[in-house]
Chains A and B, each alone.
Chain A
């Protein structure tokens, strides 16, 4: 079967760094997406990785290891507005997105 695993909830302090992990087992792989979803709102795109390595975009970075079926999202200089759920999604061989349940990130002052 297809499976995406990520922690249910994480807590971090304003100004700190947090790493949200995602492991996956899917039928085929055409890339991995990270989305941010604030409570009561729509998911919004953060990053896309299809090759191994680190992609940096401002305070956010995303890493992929295809051989390990593993990705992480790194958030630096945390701000209160980063309190949200972070969704990991893998595009399978049919170009459909398989979604993890999301990681709720709580930022404390």
Chain B
């Protein structure tokens, strides 16, 4: 099992450009999450999904959109990138039980110039 994978691993964007980050999991997990991690701060939840076809806003959703068309994939989109979105983005997943552990992907480093 590959677990949770993320593509790309690293990307540089110019302000105003758009991109999509892909997260895939092969553990048949129901719940998937997108976080950002910035220096000196805890992981912050951007959006999450509790199942195929569902999405919900987290703590910092502005400037991002998500889609969960297939159970194994969770896409994070930036329509018009801003320097404030420079960060490391982590995807995580867990199975349907509420208090289960989240498993993380290796992260995507995004630099917006």
Residues of A within 8 A of B (CB): 4, 8, 30-31, 33, 40-45, 48, 50, 87, 89, 91, 95-102
Contact = CB atoms under 8 A, between A and B. Distances in A.
Interface stretch (B13-21, B65-73, B74-82, B104-112): B104-112
Contacts of A41: 106-107
Contacts of B48: 96
A81 B65 CA distance: 37
Contacts of A8: 40
A87 B105 contact: no
Nearest to A88: B42
Nearest to B91: A42
Given A42-B105, A43-B90, A45-B103, A101 B40 contact: yes
Contacts of A89: 42-43
A68 B102 CA distance: 25
A4 B45 CA distance: 15
27 contacts: A4-B42, A30-B99, A31-B99, A41-B106, A42-B4, A42-B90, A42-B104, A42-B105, A42-B106, A42-B107, A44-B104, A45-B102, A45-B103, A48-B101, A87-B42, A89-B42, A91-B99, A96-B48, A97-B43, A97-B45, A97-B102, A98-B42, A99-B42, A99-B44, A101-B40, A101-B41, A102-B42
